[in-house]
Amino acid sequence: MIKKLISEKEINTRIKELSNELYTEYGNEEVVFICTLKGAVFFACELLKKYKGDARLEFLRVSSYSGDKSSGKVELNLSISEKNIKDKHVIILEDIVDTGHTLKFLKGYISDMKPKSLKIVTLLDKKERREVDIEADYSCFEIEDLFVVGYGLDYDQKYRNLPYIGVVK
């Protein structure tokens, strides 16, 4: 059974707000949004549909979880071409920041390609779980230490298609 934590309406309202905040920051300058697969895909679609500025979309794929446990070891499964990043404003879109290992790895990987600027935007943030010193620049919702699913997030590849965020009971 899944217990609802954040409704679809709340998520979409917050994403709309965030897209406006980002537009205020970047104006008409081009921004490369990097969606981290697979978890951030619903978030990226919703945010980009609402974003009024000049946006490009790229994808990266990393893995560190198996079931509901983090292996702690981050692997890159789909890379990105440096020419799409160098000298550009870049925003990494994450589904959730937990221990912070994935974000630290991603930030290092993208920074090495010398973007003009780099910011991190996450749908969810589990701040109390952090093991490395890293923070997102923007987060939609801060949540407590719960394993959540839905809105792109899975449990062994299931539940991604739930339109809300919930906790498996």
The residues of the shown chain that bind ligand 5GP, judged by CB under 6 A, are: 39, 64-65, 70, 94-103, 147-149, 153-155
The residue from 87, 95, 98, 145 that is catalytic is 98
State the nearest-atom distance from the C-beta of 24 to ligand 5GP, in Å. 27
Looking at the Cβ atoms of 12 and 99, the one nearer to ligand 5GP is: 99
Place of tokens 């920051």: 25
Looking at the Cβ atoms of 26 and 80, the one nearer to ligand 5GP is: 80
98 annotated active-site: yes
State the nearest-atom distance from the C-beta of 47 to ligand 5GP, in Å. 16
Is the CB of residue 153 less than 8 Å from the CB of residue 38? Answer: no
Looking at the Cβ atoms of 46 and 98, the one nearer to ligand 5GP is: 98
Cα separation, 53 vs 30, whole angstroms: 7
Q: What letter would DSSP give residue 150?
A: B
Cα separation, 96 vs 93, whole angstroms: 9
CB-based contacts of 48, cutoff 8 Å, min separation 6: 33, 55, 57
- Active centre residues (catalytic): 98
